[in-house]
Amino acid sequence: MTSSQRPQYILALDGGTTSSRAIVFDHGGNVVARAQKEFPQIFPRPGLVEHDAQDIWSTQLGVAQEAIASARLRASDIAAIGITNQRETVVVWDRATGQPIHNAVVWQDRRTAGLCDTLRAEGKEALFQQKTGLILDAYFSGTKVAWILDHVEGARGRAERGELAFGTVDSWLVYNLTGGELHITDASNASRTLLYNIHTGEWDDELLGILNVPRAVLPEVRSSSEVYGETAPGLLGAQIPIAGIAGDQMAATFGQVCLERGMAKNTYGTGCFMLMNTEQEAVPSRNRLLTTVAWQLDGKRTYALEGSVFVAGAVVQWLRDGLGIIRSSEEVETLATGVPDSGGVYLVPAFVGLGAPYWDPYARGTIVGMTRGTTAAHIARAALEAVAFQSAELLEAMQKDSGVTLKELRVDGGASTNDLMMQFQADLLGVPVVRPRITETTALGAAYLAGLAVGFWQDQAELRAMWQEDRRFEPQMQADERAARMRRWKKAVERSRDWEDAEG
């Protein structure tokens, strides 16, 4: 390629929870090259999860270089970089040296649960939900920042003097990619901090005061698609524009081209994350879902309702590693298809409590409806059906909150390749479940956001035209049967709830 030709590729960086990934996409949205590197998980004690922020940066830079090299490209062939990331993980670093002052505190970390309980007891939950769209939970970033400032010697004073910077993983990566030039985040990541008012699009002084986080540490909030700056000389071989940022689930929603109100996607990974686009309306949830910024383009915020299921693909790992009834995850579908149905067995995988719409940390895993005739195949089938039941409950809550009736559900993530589960999902929802040809939707969404900013793709209409279906699962179950199954499922969930005492 000569230097006079336009760059033909977009590089997406995906800063995940267990690994850093980099994917090169061509103009058709096809994967040209990918690289991935895991980094260590740090567990100081039960319930605490940390990462070394330098590990996040070094692995992300390494896979970026590797992906470009394995595609046999030069940095000058890359039109722009898009970034997507694990959303609520927190890094605090020294502005002068770029050195983190503590390990990154990961979204899964529960160390601030007590602080959240205190704030709830003080009657603050309604204020936080109204302004941020979130519930008061240790999952989100704000209480983690406060914890670091309170537990690292001298940190609070340094933060107030403007010597420290806080950011989620996107901010940390951009800061390092630009050689310390930029301290920014995008609206989708800001909306997960408990510090950002999703209605005004600003950091909120009242919430900052309650959590005791100085404004001086905060990044500037930018759109999800604009040219923020360029990579520092010497990192990748040429300076590349950084032009897109979105949290992982929002990026996946954009990658699935769920661009109109009422379009929804579900990602079937370790857990499940379902997002429904509500366009310019931040729909308040009466059913314990989250109201979140999906992305901000051209100064306009698009909102979504989000529900999360804590255990989805992880239930298949449990069948393999805990029960030992399958040798590999791929075997579960074969075993489950050995019976026509679950034989009345319901498995509620509340191994770590229940997520939306219950938010019950004291629920525990339960299997009900077993008889002498129950076999391993029935339990395997009940496990797959449990993922679909949990997702159906999320969608039920979303439709109640938004008043929108879903036309189809777009799906991605590892477990979306399981045809039996996807068919059952369509049956329970009563709408088609559609799997796309390109399932790397998280990285693709980041690529799309970056590509739009630099004119690599012209507009959203071009993205819609590129989205291609791999398989469509049409519902086959009768409405009365569906209602009966959901009723039994909810009865099983009640059996699992409030099992542990609050003291643990």
Confidence band for 1, pLDDT divided at 50, 70 and 90: very low
What is the reported pLDDT for 502? Answer: 58
Please determine, for residue 227, whether its predicted confidence score (pLDDT) is greater than 70.
Answer: yes
Confidence band for 355, pLDDT divided at 50, 70 and 90: confident
Pick the CATH number of 9-239 from 2.30.130.10, 3.40.720.10, 3.30.420.40, 3.30.470.20: 3.30.420.40
Q: What is the mean pLDDT of the chain?
A: 93
3-state DSSP assignment of residue 363: coil
Confidence band for 3, pLDDT divided at 50, 70 and 90: very low
What is the reported pLDDT for 24? Answer: 97
In this predicted model, what pLDDT tens digit does every residue of 293-344 receive, in sequence order?
999 999 899 999 999 888 888 888 899 988 999 998 889 999 999 999 999 9
- Helical H segments across 204-301, by residue range: 205-211, 248-255
Neighbours of 68 (CB within 10 A): 25
Which amino acid appears at position 7 of this protein? Answer: P
* Selection from 104, 208, 200 nearest residue 146 by Cα: 208
Stronger pLDDT, 503 or 158, i.e. the higher one = 158
* CATH homologous superfamily, domain 255-503: ATPase, nucleotide binding domain (3.30.420.40)
The answer to whether domain 9-239 and domain 255-503 are alike in fold is yes
Distance of CA 449 to the CA centre of its chain: 16
Confidence band for 351, pLDDT divided at 50, 70 and 90: confident
Please determine, for residue 83, whether its predicted confidence score (pLDDT) is greater than 60.
Answer: yes
What's the rounded Cα separation, in Å, for the pair 5 and 28?
Answer: 18
Residue ranges per domain, the chain?
A: 9-239, 255-503
Please determine, for residue 128, whether its predicted confidence score (pLDDT) is greater than 60.
Answer: yes
Confidence band for 133, pLDDT divided at 50, 70 and 90: very high
Is residue 285 annotated as involved in ligand binding?
Answer: no
The first and second tokens of residue 18, run together, are: 């267990």
Mean pLDDT of 87-113: 93
Stronger pLDDT, 357 or 435, i.e. the higher one = 435
Please determine, for residue 504, whether its predicted confidence score (pLDDT) is greater than 50.
Answer: no
Q: What is the DSSP string of 164-219?
A: EEEEEHHHHHHHHHTTT---EEEHHHHTTSSSEETTTTEE-HHHHHHHT--GGGPP
Is residue 366 annotated as involved in ligand binding?
Answer: no
3-state DSSP assignment of residue 397: helix
The answer to whether the beta carbons of residues 296 and 317 sit under 8 Å apart is: no
Mean pLDDT of 97-121: 92
What is the reported pLDDT for 138? Answer: 85
Mean pLDDT of 277-299: 94
Is residue 133 annotated as involved in ligand binding?
Answer: no
List beta partners, residue 296.
Answer: 301
Q: Which residue has the tokens 């995988």?
A: 349
Span of 4-18, 362-376, 424-438, 448-462 with lowest mean pLDDT: 4-18
In this predicted model, what pLDDT tens digit does every residue of 387-415 receive, in sequence order?
999 999 999 999 999 998 889 999 998 88
* Selection from 19, 38, 473, 457 nearest residue 255 by Cα: 457
What is the reported pLDDT for 141? Answer: 95
3-state DSSP assignment of residue 335: helix
3-state DSSP assignment of residue 366: strand
Mean pLDDT of 103-125: 91
The answer to whether the beta carbons of residues 333 and 356 sit under 8 Å apart is: no
Name residues whose C-beta falls within 8 Å of residue 428's C-beta, 6 or more positions apart in sequence.
Answer: 388, 389, 391, 392, 477, 482, 485, 486
Span of 166-170, 273-277, 305-309, 310-314 with lowest mean pLDDT: 310-314
Q: Is residue 476 classed exposed, middle or buried when 0-12, 13-18 and 19+ CB atoms within 10 A define those classes?
A: exposed
Is residue 418 annotated as involved in ligand binding?
Answer: yes
Is residue 19 annotated as involved in ligand binding?
Answer: yes
For residue 309, what is the DSSP state? Answer: E
Is residue 212 annotated as involved in ligand binding?
Answer: no
Is residue 197 annotated as involved in ligand binding?
Answer: no
Mean pLDDT of 181-186: 98
What's the rounded Cα separation, in Å, for the pair 84 and 136?
Answer: 24
Q: What percent of the chain has pLDDT over 70?
A: 98
Is residue 270 annotated as involved in ligand binding?
Answer: yes
Q: Is residue 321 classed exposed, middle or buried when 0-12, 13-18 and 19+ CB atoms within 10 A define those classes?
A: exposed
Is residue 87 annotated as involved in ligand binding?
Answer: yes
Name residues whose C-beta falls within 8 Å of residue 324's C-beta, 6 or more positions apart in sequence.
Answer: none
Q: What percent of the chain has pLDDT over 90?
A: 79
